[in-house]
Amino acid sequence: MTAKQNGQVLEKSPGYKRVMKWLKSSGKKPFGFQSEAWQYYAEGYSGLVNAPTGFGKTFSIFLAVVIDELSKTEPKKTKPGIRLIWITPLRSLAKDLARAMQEALTGLGMNWTVGVRNGDTTANEKLKQKRQMPEVLIITPESMHVLLAQKNTSGYFGQLQCIVADEWHELIGSKRGVMAELAISRIRGLVLAAHPERLLRIWGISATIGNMEQALEVLVPYDDVLKTIVRADVEKKIQIKSILPDHIEMLPWAGHLGLKLAEKLLPIIYGSKTTLIFTNTRGQAELWYQTLLARDENLAGQLAIHHGSIDHELRNWIEDAIHTGILKAVVCTSSLDLGVDFKPVDTVVQIGSPKGVARFLQRAGRSGHSPYETSKIYFLPTHALELVEAAAIKEAARTQNIESREPVVMSFDVLIQYLVTLAVGDGFNADQIFSEVKQTFAYRELLPEEWSWIMQFITTGGDSLTAYNEFNKVVLSDNLWKVESRQTALRHRLHIGTIVSDAMVKVKYISGGFVGMVEESFISRMKQGTSFTLAGRVLEFVMIKDMVVLVRKSKQKQALSPSWMGGRISLTSNLGAVLRQKYNETLYKQHEDEELDMILPLFQRQAQVSHVPKDDEFLVELIRTRDGYHLFAYPFEGRQVHEIMASLLAYRIGRIKPITFSIAMNDYGFELLSEQPIPLDEKEMKTHIKQLLSPENLAEDIVASINATEMARRKFRDIACIAGLVFQGYPGKYIANKHLQSSAALFFNVFSDYDKHNLLLRQAYDEAFYQQIEEPRLAAALHRIQASSVVIVETDRYTPLCFPIKVDSLRDNMSSEELSQRIARMTSETEKKNARRKNEH
Amino acid sequence: MNIECRGEQLILSKEKAIYWEREKMLIVSDLHIGKSAYFRKSGLQVPHTVGLSDLQRLSLLLKTYPTEKLLVTGDMFHNNMNSDAAAFAEWRKQYPDLQVILVKGNHDDLKNEDYRALDIEVHTREVISAPFRFVHEKPTIQDGYFNISGHIHPGVMLYGKARQRLRFPCFYFGSHCAILPAFSVFTGLYLLRPEAEDDRFYAITPDRIIQV
């Protein structure tokens, strides 16, 4: 049957008629891609819907399932039970989704219920669900695994028709995506075992990413399933504008807070209905919240702060308040990146570099949500050079130069956790699960010997030859592998998930009332009476009791901001490439970007004291200062690639003559600093630099140059938690068992010394190599440098380009206040040097 | 490394022990025998060779230094009698003449008869052997004795050039007390920072001990 004929069949179906009637009555009509998705669904396809936010992507699949149900010939006979599992990456999405779906169901006069299940779901609600599962279950990947860790789960899926992975682009590049893959494989296995005739559909919904086809392959890896990509032909209009200082001198040469432009933000907030202000870290969000309130007291009560460390009840309240339009503005982090419709939000502000095109567009899409409305986003630079980034991101957005998301594969830690999850639940049959796992995209390369290692790891603890084997986590009973110890089961259930956070402690008012969470390491530095900010409040530390931080309201106006240890995100290669191009355009004024006009004086200064690199040039600055001999280089490849490239260069220079360097980097370039002169061939310096950055022998030199063990050790931290070796407990929950305390670093050492063939250890090294080192990207960058012309500048003072790198290297060990003072001093020193220079001439 | 403390000659071994030559006494702390087995029993995959290697190192020390007394400043056993403790019992039989003295630590929960069976002399608070007092946790009050303790698993961070940082277990010697590193390889580190002028740290690097 062709799609068209089928379309006619669809159009004649009672379900379609009913849905159309309901849409019409509420003054809506389906978008082309929605009808297309309904048709494919009716034909039995699985697939991926690619649509911008705000165009009813939810209904493209949700209503397809509804139509299918309503078209069934004997609807009266249908039993209750889950029809649709809707996986969302974020808890905050669930409530809004449920509301929208429930509205539709009520409108259609269907008696289906919509249930939400995630970390915030109350025990009471879960118990209710256990008695009677809702027809539509909105769930996070973690909660799906928690569900599988319960007894008698197989019965839940008797009526299941479809599994949807919403915001699939968010999940695919992470271990949470792998969790979704595994959960889908198991549920599919359960459904097909009980109902071999069932046509279980698997659909994803995704924003545009560079690798759409692969994203479909990861979600639906099965060869015997019909699958397709449905692309929306609607375009979301986005208006991007930079918040510019009156004068370039207003912007610091380096920095990451951007507070100096706070004044400029106020008119934007007042000119809009509701504004979301995105920052890159929680610490930055706290500071911005404080600053905005200090600038304008009228904002009190109309400004809120939202991030992952804030109590979820407070977050819920804020989200509701955004919906109802009470709030004028919300300072937030990636905690509000995703989600459905906040209708009143008409403006978004991004503070500092978003580091990638996709992320920026995602955030922009949070405003002007309804179809054909324009999304409005302002970019607020935190330091001068970010103006160029603003211009670059506009360009990349215009040309839809959007990054790919690499799927995570062969994560043994997630597989180990999954198998124990199944063992905690109903138990599993090893052959059955091996074949299911092997069909997933993440583990299609899994070897039988790796599988047996993993089985041994969870059943005998890895040693099968010891005289005493007290290890008995997963045991065989009635032909199924099960966890029999209640304690192990309880601990495992509490531990399901792949997001590993630092040890967090709850913060509570001494008079009662929960504020949020902070890192334990931050609190351990607190003394009684010192103040800090959290959830936008200034709090005075009183004491720690039972792992809860007790505080009272502080009389101080300002205080320390906890620096939550978020990984610093690196610039993507897409954005890096556009950035290099923009450097070209700035100096030659071949552009229409106001940002680039603004920054021109700084570029002229850079040109005067050094050089502005064109996109076919590779700039190296050799600077001699009191601190020593600096080499700055600017590949514009993001800090992660720079870290490796700098180590590589340091190693290769060290082969000429033993020399020690300290290394610093940012997204634009890197620095090597030594107390001794850097041994470069003075006559043939350009050729020499190229030789030193040659892509030949890259792999070997990387291994020799970086401390791979240290990188793997860092990666192992998460792996150990996910695989259940280190019990972190839930944030803020006290771990009572003192005898079981240990750390990932300890396990890393122990495995390195006593169990070299441990697959988790191998995974740590693999993750370090492919995720941290990004060898392919590094090689491409080195090839590009070979094809560029090298420009070398020798000078004795810091240049505008090198300045942020220099400052970034200081940031690690200093509080932001100390840092800003230090920056001010360094800037004035550079200025003085320039002035002196002028006088001498 | 040889050091002098209150007029006594002490040898710091890189196997995380102090040898007091005059008394023919070997002093160690925080053996945590049974920890790896306890972890395995709780479903955490610690290689069983970990516990054995601790005993091998102890044997090596007894071979290197003529020892009459083995003094443990606490946390000798972790939790309870298990396969690791059984391995220790086997090991103990090889040294019938060795006097084993334990100052109890917070993890030492064995029954009295277990200690008797293992021929271990148990002291709940302290052992005094002038000029030293051996205790598990560093006491807060000071008197004439020099305290030798364990408990915290001390470590130091060494900073190299190029922002390199390395962590090592260490011996700490202050004006009134010393802290031993944890003997067991299956223990973490608590990083110490110098607080007083005369604080001395002896970092245990893979090949030797260095004063920092």
Encode pLDDT of A258-295 as tens digits: 788 888 999 999 999 999 999 988 888 888 998 899 89
> Which residue in the block uniquely carries the two structure tokens 């030797």?
B208
pLDDT at A718: 87
Q: For residue A85, what are the β-bridge partners?
A: A137, A163
CB nearest A660 (choices: B37, B48, B162): B162
On whether the CB atoms of residues B65 and B19 are closer than 8 A, the answer is yes
pLDDT at A769: 82
On whether the CB atoms of residues A327 and A601 are closer than 8 A, the answer is no
**C-alpha dihedral sign at A749, A754, A756, A759:** negative
User: Average pLDDT in the A539-556 region?
Assistant: 82
pLDDT at A172: 93
Q: In this model, does residue A6 exceed pLDDT 70? A: no
Two structure tokens written together for A1: 């049957």
What's the mean per-residue pLDDT of chain B?
89
Task: Tell whether A757 lies on the interface with B, counting CB pairs under 8 A.
Answer: no
User: Average pLDDT in the B40-50 region?
Assistant: 85
Alpha helices, DSSP H, located in A259-403: 262-271, 282-295, 312-324, 357-364, 386-398
pLDDT at A814: 39
Residues of B in contact with A742 (CB under 8 A): 39, 44, 186, 188
Radius of gyration of chain A (CA): 28
Which of B3, B13, B93 is CA-nearest to residue B61? B13
Q: Which of the pair, B57 or B79, is modelled with greater confidence?
A: B57
pLDDT at B161: 47
Main-chain dihedrals φ then ψ at residue A542, nearest 5 degrees = -105, -60
Which of A57, A52, A17, A11 is CA-nearest to residue A34? A57
The answer to whether position B157 is within a domain reads no
Residues of B in contact with A750 (CB under 8 A): 46-47, 50, 185-186
Encode pLDDT of A57-73 as tens digits: 899 999 999 999 998 86
Cβ–Cβ below 8 Å for A468 and B49? no
Radius of gyration of chain B (CA): 17
Task: Tell whether A488 lies on the interface with B, counting CB pairs under 8 A.
Answer: yes
CB atoms within 10 A of CB A626: 6
**C-alpha dihedral sign at A481, A486, A488, A489:** positive
Architecture per CATH, domain A238-398, reads as: 3-Layer(aba) Sandwich (3.40)
Domain that holds residue B33: 2-151+171-186
Task: Tell whether A659 lies on the interface with B, counting CB pairs under 8 A.
Answer: no
Q: Which of the pair, A7 or A311, is modelled with greater confidence?
A: A311
Main-chain dihedrals φ then ψ at residue A37, nearest 5 degrees = -65, -40
Main-chain dihedrals φ then ψ at residue A621, nearest 5 degrees = -110, 125
CA distance B142 to A708: 46
**C-alpha dihedral sign at A721, A724, A728, A733:** positive
CA distance A572 to A636: 10
Rounded to a whole number of angstroms, the distance from the CA of B7 to the nearest CA of chain A is 37
At position A216, the amino acid (one-letter code) is L
In whole angstroms, how far apart are CA A269 and each of A296, A298, A349? 11, 12, 9
pLDDT at B52: 85
Cβ–Cβ below 8 Å for B48 and A466? yes
Least confident range from A598-602, A645-649, A764-768, A769-773: namely A769-773
Q: What angle is formed at CA A435 by the lines to CA A765 and CA A118, rounded to 5 degrees? A: 70
On whether the CB atoms of residues A253 and A803 are closer than 8 A, the answer is yes
Q: Do domains A3-72+79-231 and A238-398 have the same CATH topology?
A: yes
Cβ–Cβ below 8 Å for A750 and B45? no
User: Average pLDDT in the A481-506 region?
Assistant: 82
Q: Which of B42, B55, B166, B191 to mutate to test the interface with A (most CBs of A within 10 A)?
A: B42
Residues of B in contact with A751 (CB under 8 A): 47
CA distance A807 to A474: 51
Which of A445, A435, A454 is CA-nearest to residue A410? A445
CB nearest B44 (choices: A487, A725, A751): A725
Q: For residue B203, what are the β-bridge partners?
A: B170, B210
**What is the DSSP track for chain B?**
-EEEETTEEEEEETTTEEEETTTTEEEE----BTHHHHHHHTT----THHHHHHHHHHHHHHHHS--SEEEE-S--B-SS--HHHHHHHHHHHT-TT-EEEEE--TT----HHHHHHTTEEEESSEEEETTEEEESSPPSS--SSEEEE-SS-EEEEEE-STT-EEEEEEEEE-SSEEEPPPSSSS---EE----STT-EEEEE-SS-EEE-
- Residues, chain A, total? 841
Task: Tell whether A749 lies on the interface with B, counting CB pairs under 8 A.
Answer: yes
Which regions of A484-589 does DSSP assign to beta strands (E)?
Answer: 504-509, 514-519, 531-534, 537-545, 548-553
Number of domains forming the structure of chain B: 1
Task: Tell whether A485 lies on the interface with B, counting CB pairs under 8 A.
Answer: yes
Residues 6+ apart with CB under 8 A from A33: A49, A51, A55, A60, A230, A231, A232, A233, A234
SS3 of residue A274 by DSSP:
strand
Residues of B in contact with A725 (CB under 8 A): 44-45
Task: Tell whether A462 lies on the interface with B, counting CB pairs under 8 A.
Answer: yes
User: Average pLDDT in the A556-564 region?
Assistant: 63
Q: In this model, does residue A7 exceed pLDDT 60? A: no
pLDDT at A639: 85
Q: In this model, does residue B60 exceed pLDDT 60? A: yes
SS3 of residue A239 by DSSP:
strand
Query: How far is C-alpha A67 from the geometric centre of its chain's CA atoms?
Result: 35
CA distance A560 to A287: 9
CB atoms within 10 A of CB B41: 21
Count of pairs with CB atoms under 8 A, one residue in A, one in B: 84
Residues of A in contact with B48 (CB under 8 A): 463, 466, 468
Which regions of A514-627 does DSSP assign to beta strands (E)?
Answer: 514-519, 531-534, 537-545, 548-553, 617-625
What's the mean per-residue pLDDT of chain A?
85
Q: Which of the pair, A518 or A800, is modelled with greater confidence?
A: A800
Two structure tokens written together for B79: 């939790």
Encode pLDDT of A625-659 as tens digits: 888 899 999 999 998 899 889 989 988 998 888 88
Rounded to a whole number of angstroms, the distance from the CA of B6 to the nearest CA of chain A is 35
Q: Which residue of B has its CA nearest to A459?
A: B43
Two structure tokens written together for A352: 């500092």
CA distance A311 to A380: 28
CA distance B114 to B116: 5
User: Average pLDDT in the A216-226 region?
Assistant: 95
CB nearest A473 (choices: B43, B48, B82): B43
Share of chain B above pLDDT 90, in %: 58
Cβ–Cβ below 8 Å for A471 and B188? no
H helix and E strand count, chain A: 31, 25
CB atoms within 10 A of CB A554: 18
pLDDT at A252: 80
Task: Tell whether A470 lies on the interface with B, counting CB pairs under 8 A.
Answer: yes
Confidence of residue B100 (pLDDT cuts 50, 70, 90): very high
Residues of B in contact with A739 (CB under 8 A): 35, 38, 78-79, 107
Domains in chain A: boundaries: 3-72+79-231, 238-398, 412-498+709-772, 504-553, 610-695+774-840
Task: Tell whether B60 lies on the interface with A, counting CB pairs under 8 A.
Answer: no
Encode pLDDT of A155-211 as tens digits: 899 999 999 999 999 899 999 999 999 999 999 999 999 999 999 999 999 988 999
CB nearest B45 (choices: A461, A485, A660): A461
The answer to whether position B97 is within a domain reads yes
pLDDT at A813: 41
Q: Which residue of A has its CA nearest to B87?
A: A468
Q: Is B119 exposed, middle or buried (0-12, 13-18, 19+ CB in 10 A)?
A: middle
User: Average pLDDT in the A823-840 region?
Assistant: 58
Q: What angle is formed at CA B203 by the lines to CA B202 and CA B209, rounded to 5 degrees? A: 80
pLDDT at A468: 57
Task: Tell whether B85 lies on the interface with A, counting CB pairs under 8 A.
Answer: no
In whole angstroms, how far apart are CA A106 and each of A34, A163, A581? 20, 22, 53
SS3 of residue A789 by DSSP:
strand
In whole angstroms, how far apart are CA A638 and each of A175, A282, A773, B122? 23, 21, 12, 60
The Cα diameter of chain B in Å comes to 55
Encode pLDDT of B131-164 as tens digits: 999 999 988 888 889 999 999 999 988 775 445 5
Cβ–Cβ below 8 Å for A750 and B50? yes
Share of chain A above pLDDT 70, in %: 88
Rounded to a whole number of angstroms, the distance from the CA of A725 to the nearest CA of chain B is 5
Q: What is the CATH number of domain A3-72+79-231?
A: 3.40.50.300
Cβ–Cβ below 8 Å for B185 and A743? no
CB nearest B162 (choices: A663, A725, A739): A663
Residues 6+ apart with CB under 8 A from B23: B68, B69, B129
Confidence of residue A738 (pLDDT cuts 50, 70, 90): low
CATH code: domain of residue B106: 3.60.21
The Cα diameter of chain A in Å comes to 96
Alpha helices, DSSP H, located in A13-56: 14-25, 32-42
Q: Which of the pair, A372 or A521, is modelled with greater confidence?
A: A372
Cβ–Cβ below 8 Å for B83 and A742? no
Confidence of residue B122 (pLDDT cuts 50, 70, 90): very high
Encode pLDDT of A782-820 as tens digits: 999 999 999 999 998 889 999 888 877 665 443 444 555
User: Average pLDDT in the B10-25 region?
Assistant: 95
Confidence of residue A729 (pLDDT cuts 50, 70, 90): low
Sheet holding A628-633, edge to edge: A662-665, A670-674, A628-633, A617-625, A789-795
Q: How many CA atoms lie within 13 A of A283 on its CB side?
A: 18
CA distance A458 to B141: 48
The answer to whether position B197 is within a domain reads no
Q: In this model, does residue A212 exceed pLDDT 90? A: yes
Task: Tell whether A490 lies on the interface with B, counting CB pairs under 8 A.
Answer: no
> Which residue in the block uniquely carries the two structure tokens 């556009």?
A578
Which of A417, A791, A799 is CA-nearest to residue A602? A799
pLDDT at A82: 94
Cβ–Cβ below 8 Å for B79 and A739? yes
Cβ–Cβ below 8 Å for B43 and A472? yes
Q: In this model, does residue A736 exceed pLDDT 70? A: no
Highest mean pLDDT among A175-179, A307-311, A375-379, A463-467: A175-179
SS (H, E, C) A293-310: HHHCHHHCCCEEEECCCE
On whether the CB atoms of residues A115 and A133 are closer than 8 A, the answer is yes
On whether the CB atoms of residues B112 and B102 are closer than 8 A, the answer is no
